[in-house]
Structure 1
Amino acid sequence: MLSNSALSPSLPSSSFLLPAPLPPQPTSAVRVPAKTRTAARLSSSPGGAGGGPKPRRRKPPSPPSEAEEVVRLLLRKSGEPLVATLGKYVRIVRTEHCFLLFEELGKRDQWLQCLEVFRWMQKQRWYIADNGIYSKLISVMGKKGQTRMAMWLFSEMRNSGCKPDSSVYNALITAHLHSRDKVKALAKASAYFDKMKGMERCQPNIVTYNILLRAYAQAGDVKQVEALFKDLEDSIVSPDTYTYNGVMDAYGKNGMIKEMETVLLRMKSNQLKPDVITFNLLIDSYGKKQAFEKMEQVFKSLLRSKEKPTLPTFNSMISNYGKARLRENAEAVFRKMTCMGFKPSYVTYESLITVYGLCDCVSRARQMFDEILETRKEVQASTLNAMLDAYCINGLPTEADRLLDAASEKGLVPNASTYKLLYKAYTKANEKELLNNLLKKMDRQGVVPNKKFFLEALEAFGSPQTEPNEPENSPRSPRILAGTS
């Protein structure tokens, strides 16, 4: 067990609910700018756990810059294409305005308009090809899953006479890591990393290492994380807090607590202060291993430190207490959270619904779900899934089926995970009628299950099972089954 000095106000954290963010990059980079203790421990004082600090007063937002005001003006103009609006204000629009436009349009999923603005920008007298602009565009395309477009921009950049640097390759690596095929993405990223090592002006920097460490940690590839960390130590690049967070995240996700603690001590010996991501990471890792005494110790250290808890801090604790069926502890964390002025997110509510489902409090879970439906404009399908799962794990498949119908009537659209969850539960309960009705609902919604759907839905049973009402060795495929009555 770690000593009190090891778990001091300078502890680490990063939650599985919130992946560790990438470190800030240069201007030319992609981005600008065992038994648990009782619940009373968390709520024994007026402030909750350890009598934590009172809610901080939020500082008023700083006034927008002149460039931000121009961008707001351009985006407020409606009823005409953005390029036409740019034409009207051509005398005042410059590179910095376009850069901010790319950022804002990316947030709005309007990546095509980013390209239109870029083409308009290239026609202006003041335009000079710049790595920073290409890095930003490559980053925007990557976040929207437009890997091919990111590659085209990389090629366009080289054709324009710009020589790639580390920031451009960092953007390209990040773009690939946003693609769906994570195995292929990691292979591509690794290839670019090796290529960077062979070019003097594109040597990997700490941002490069942190991007890859985070990616391998999320993939649970501890060997690659260790190899990359060793490579970093042998280079001239110095690790920072984000680096150690990435390595600890990999160990934490794999339940390697001792290794995680060793990295934490190394981090502190290098005079690097843990940030809130470090604290969240430790809290979640200890929680998953049900080392609640250590988890609570880290939480208290966080409250005493200069860092402050975030919503994922509380969500992680609620979720992990719930998995251990410690309802009172989870509720105490929730009270502490609200006492500190945090507004629950849909993840918070889903975690609590799951807690109540696991602790045989289905009626309380349903009460909370109904409150969400009444008070929230948008309800996530994942919240519906949490409530359906609460019914199913308590042997109430009929109630789950009724809830699905009621939710659909209120406009809450189920997703593939909803149907997998119910298909699995109905099969386990041998509810053939509910199963056939479920397939009809899927058919009406246009959801066509394939072999993968059934295999994933039934994977908990250890081996694939035949579809309902289908004889063994039936030539009919799941695709046909979806349309049967």
Structure 2
Amino acid sequence: MLWSTALHIFRRRISASPPPPPRIGSFLAAAFQDSRPFYLPSSFFRSFCSGSGVATATGDEATARLISAELLRDRKVKSLPVEKRLDLSFSHITLSRPLILSTLNLCPDAGRAVLGFIDWIKSKPNFEVDDEVYSYFVDYLGRKKDFKASHDVLISGRGVVGTKTLESMVDRLVRAGRPTHTVAFFEKMEKEYGFVRNLDSLKLIVTKLCEHGFASYAEKMVKSLADEFFPDQYVCDMLIKGWCVDEKLDEAHRLAGEMYRGGFEIGTSGYNAILDCVCKLCRKKDPFRLDSEVDKLLLEMEEKGVPRDVETFTVLISNLCKIRQTQAAMDLFYKMGEWGCFPNEATFLTLITSLFQAARVGEGDEMIDRMKSAGYGDALGKKEYYGFLKILCGIERIDHAMAFFYQMKHDGCKPGIKTYELLMGRLVAHGRMERANTLSKEASNNGFLVEPKAYNVDPRFAKKKPDAVKKEKKRETLPEKMARKRRTLKKIRLSFVKKPKGLRRAI
């Protein structure tokens, strides 16, 4: 009796259980036939706040996410100050520089809440805030163009801040388009912040100004400080480079003439900057003059005894690739050895990109192998692989892109979320739903937040429904035709005679 009652309850529970979930194969088949946008299944997506996502990440990443969430808390809600909240929740953690940097990268919208974060860090007795840590916060606030908060950080770090913090501050001022503030910063940085005001710091500011096209400010600054810091060859070359970045070739030649009259000579780096400027102007105005103008400048270098270096060839190869003269760039690449130069990672990356863009994927693969053999395999990072994959997907070489993706993982380079999203989108466009789902699951297992997106199937690769086959009228054979005629004649003959009931039914 007891056994029958238990069996009855078990059957009721089984009957009341929900139906099993649909199979992925049926879902993919339905999505493949449908012309609407394809959504990857929600079971492959991981929520940002889910516990499983945090569990898959490393300890530092999980802690950085929690701290960044605390910094991003709504400031309109009345609560304790940031440093007190952090002290209540994270007093047990061990601080490190990678943890601090990851936290700042995960909360780009925290604003001035990071000032409380650095105050909390300075209150920790087991961690020493050094020049590198201050540079993280100056760089973060500089991205937001909050230079008043950066000023407060520099004031609080006086005596600790050094070269790295100075470089971050100058870089952010120049990137924000404030060359006047940058020049004024050099005048007051020793008095207000404790930075060393010497020729090296002057070179740093001149370099940043020239790299972003503010050569006029840099030249005025160098000339006004010439009595205090006499410029050397590096400063002169950087000033020429600054005018070339701004594409003002006449000003570069004018400055070169002043240098010669002052006893300076233009070095290889200065000529490389002029060469790059000449190539840019030719590409914009008249690409057919590129060869003749380049030959003139190279001949001038030979006359003045300025040797060519790898940067000279890299500039020429890069500009040839930009006007789609890939074969000419390859010929120049093979002639580098005649001048005693050997390609560097920039030369290899430029040629690989151009070969892939020209759909010469086999030669591109060979160039990658050659780059690794030359000892520059470490230069192939996540960003470089993503650029190559984007080109391969753009020229519809999805199979080669997938093989390249597996080779990337085999070489020890872990793909990022952008790489996964790029490949998933192209796979769905080509109608390969199973492989897209596999990549989505792999990305989720690696701890990435994969957001649901609508991927459209390319009509060129979508399966078309087969048209209904029309039944063609079959041609009769002669015996079939004669039999049909006999039947017709018999019906006509019998239609004039009164027939018995049985015969009528037969007809």
Structure with more relative contact order (C-alpha pairs < 8 Å, separation 6 or more): 1
TM-score by length of structure 1 reads 0.50
Which protein has the larger Cα radius of gyration, Structure 1 or Structure 2? 2
TM-score of the two chains, using structure 2 as the length reference? 0.48
